[in-house]
Amino acid sequence: TPLNSSSVDVAVFCLSLMGINFPNYLQEAQRVLKPSGWLLIAEVKSRFDPNTGGADPNKFSKAVCDLGFAPVSKDFSNKMFIMFYFKKKEKQNSKSKEIQWPELKPCLYKRR
């Protein structure tokens, strides 16, 4: 994005991590967010259900934390959606390690 580094207070991803390169989206959010900035993620719950082939929400959360965020909360209370709340860490680790991102399966919509 054309945004300056550390220039944004909040980054919201609402049903927008559908690309196979979704880690790039989150890396860009990490770049543009100010220290202590908020990262909010809302996704379809079935994408984070390991029982049906979805990603493990704990592994996803760990990968986001490895990117430089601190977990604040996860909300599973909605029937259809899951919410993740993170804050960008004040100080970033100088070590750059390989992040193990879980695969996010495509979302299957059911006709209702």
8-64 tens-digit pLDDT: 999 999 999 988 899 999 999 999 999 999 999 999 998 998 988 889 999 999 999
49-102 tens-digit pLDDT: 898 888 999 999 999 999 999 999 999 999 999 999 999 999 877 666 789 999
Q: Give Cα 33 distance to the centre of its chain.
A: 13
**CATH number of the domain that residue 64 is part of:** 3.40.50.150
- Give me the domain span that covers residue 28: 8-88
Q: How many domains does the chain have?
A: 1
pTM of the model: 0.90
Residue 36 within any structural domain of the chain = yes
Which residues are CB-contacts of 15 (< 8 A; sequence separation ≥ 6)? Answer: 42, 43, 44, 107
Residue 112 within any structural domain of the chain = no
